[in-house]
Amino acid sequence: MSQASTMEHARSYYAATAGPLPAYPRLESRVNADVCVIGGGFTGLNTAIELAQRGLSVVLLEGRRIGWGASGRNGGQLIRGIGHDVSGFAKYVGAEGVRYLERAGIESVEVVGNRIREHAIDCDLRWGFCELANTPAQFAAFRTEQDHLAELGYAHETRLVAPQDMAQVVASTLYAGGLIDRGSGHLHPLKLVLGEARAAQALGVRIFEHSPVLELIHGDTVEVRCAAGTVRAASLVLACNAHLDDLEPRLSGKVLPAGSYIIATEPLAAEVAAELIPQNLSLCDQKVGLDYYRLSADKRLLFGGACHYSGRDPADIGAYMRPKMLKVFPQLADARIDYQWGGMIGITANRFPQVGRLQQHPNVFYAQGYSGHGVNVTHWTARLLAEAIHAGQSKGMDIFSAVPHMTFPGGKALRSPLLALGMLWHRLREALG
């Protein structure tokens, strides 16, 4: 059975080390709220926090467990940026809008850091990240990126690492240089999302697990029906990302669920860990099917990447991912793999998140499609949704929603194979380039 098909957390390193996993009740009655949020990941919980801080009553529904999806399974990389070269969206949002999106990519990391500090969430946060160039051309582009960050007034240290100096950041011969960023970092995502659930509950948010939504009845008041209970609310937030399914087909067709996978080694000797990643940075390369990796708090190598569009996990994630890890770190040939897991992330056609409200039902709001860059951007879009619901408008949400998004063609049956063909084409170009 696929890990992603169960109702409990994936058997991941994160679930094994998060401490007690608190249980929240099922929805078994009729309740009322100013806002109903569907989805117990970073987007839903942080929207609930932002709304509660503005004085609104919130009910949050999660069909499985808090942090069950990508929020509790991801690589734990807290990296600046929206996840795309946003300059390409100037024709939709103008130069001022592009500047806003660039600043949002930076300030969203600060939102996460502030949330952690404000609520004293112990989530193994460590600062420091290195982008890895696979080619000399990519390394040359890092200098332009560094200069642009300086123009934006980026407050954190950045430093180029020449090819001959890469042993300072990673014990691998694969890379053509790097760019260190001290304003990004890495953390334990499940500890973070569980800490945010506690923060939301302390603010008065009513949280229900194992309460999948069966039906939405739209109107001036939205009725959200589960198997044993109902929520009536003035506004609704859809924060389901890759797991929206048929609840709102107008949105689910714009996001492709794609599988992403991680393995965790046994704890490494301190000297081995220090040799592999001397500065305890998070690292990510520039390939289409990228590799990302880091050390855990107990000195395991967490190595992630790949993307499957079939909707099914590989039969053996460890066997699938281990060769990728050994290509980077052949010195780990004898290291035991203790954990292997995966799950669905939400991919959009333009790799830009979708944030807005339904045109047909203006009291229904949504944010989705983070395309692998969700740790920081979820926290930013949550703030925009709360602004729009509380104040009736949000300049930031207007900018995000001005970027158009295509619906993947072919419906469920064809959109995954079509995207897989497109990704194969990009990989072929990458190999030939």
Q: What is the DSSP string of 108-168?
A: HHHHHHHHHHHTT--S--EEEEEEE-SSHHHHHHHHHHHHHHHHTT--S-EEEE-GGGGGG
Using N-to-C axis directions, what is the helix angle for 42-53 and 374-391, rounded to 10°?
A: 40
pLDDT of residue 244: 92
Per-residue pLDDT of the chain (433 residues; tens, 9 = 90+): 344 458 899 999 999 999 999 999 999 999 999 999 999 999 999 999 999 999 999 999 999 999 999 999 999 999 999 977 899 999 999 999 999 999 999 999 999 999 999 999 999 999 999 999 999 999 999 999 999 999 999 999 999 999 999 999 999 999 999 999 999 999 999 999 999 999 999 999 999 999 999 999 999 999 999 999 999 999 999 999 989 988 998 898 898 888 899 999 999 999 999 999 999 999 999 987 789 999 999 999 999 986 666 556 788 999 999 999 999 999 999 999 999 999 888 888 888 999 999 999 999 999 999 988 899 999 999 999 999 999 999 999 999 999 999 888 765 555 555 555 444 444 444 445 5
How far apart CA 322 and CA 304 sit, in angstroms, is: 10
Q: Which CATH class is domain 3-73+190-253+350-409?
A: alpha beta
Q: Which amino acid is at 181?
A: D
Give how far Cα 101 sits from Cα of 105, 383, 387, 397, Å. Answer: 6, 14, 17, 11
> Residue 245 CB: number of other CB atoms within 10 A?
13
Nearest to 74 by CA among 239, 187, 199: 187
Residue 64 — φ and ψ, nearest 5°?
Answer: -125, -110
Give how far Cα 76 sits from Cα of 124, 312, 345, 353, Å. Answer: 10, 22, 14, 18
Angle at 368 between CA 365 and CA 373, to 5 degrees: 140
Q: For tokens 């890759």, name the residue.
A: 242
Q: In the chain, where are the structural domains located?
A: 3-73+190-253+350-409
Tokens standing for residue 65: 């467990």
Q: Are strands 178-186 and 77-78 parallel, antiparallel or unpaired?
A: antiparallel
Q: What stretches of 160-299 show up as alpha helix (H) in DSSP?
A: 189-202, 249-252, 270-276
pLDDT of residue 371: 87
3-state class (DSSP) for residue 99: helix
Q: What stretches of 253-316 show up as alpha helix (H) in DSSP?
A: 270-276
Task: Give the list of residues 6+ apart from residue 401 with CB closer than 8 angstroms, or none.
Answer: 354, 355, 356, 357
3-state class (DSSP) for residue 196: helix
pLDDT of residue 424: 47
Task: Give the list of residues 6+ apart from residue 27 with CB closer than 8 angstroms, or none.
Answer: 61, 208, 211, 226, 228, 229, 230, 231
Q: Are strands 30-38 and 77-78 parallel, antiparallel or unpaired?
A: unpaired
Tokens standing for residue 217: 């009845």
Tokens standing for residue 204: 């008065």
- Say if pTM beats, i.e. exceeds, 0.85: yes
Beta strand segments in 53-99, E:
58-61, 77-78
3-state class (DSSP) for residue 26: coil
Q: Which H helix or E strand runs over 423?
A: helix 411-432
> Residue 417 CB: number of other CB atoms within 10 A?
12
Tokens standing for residue 393: 């408008």
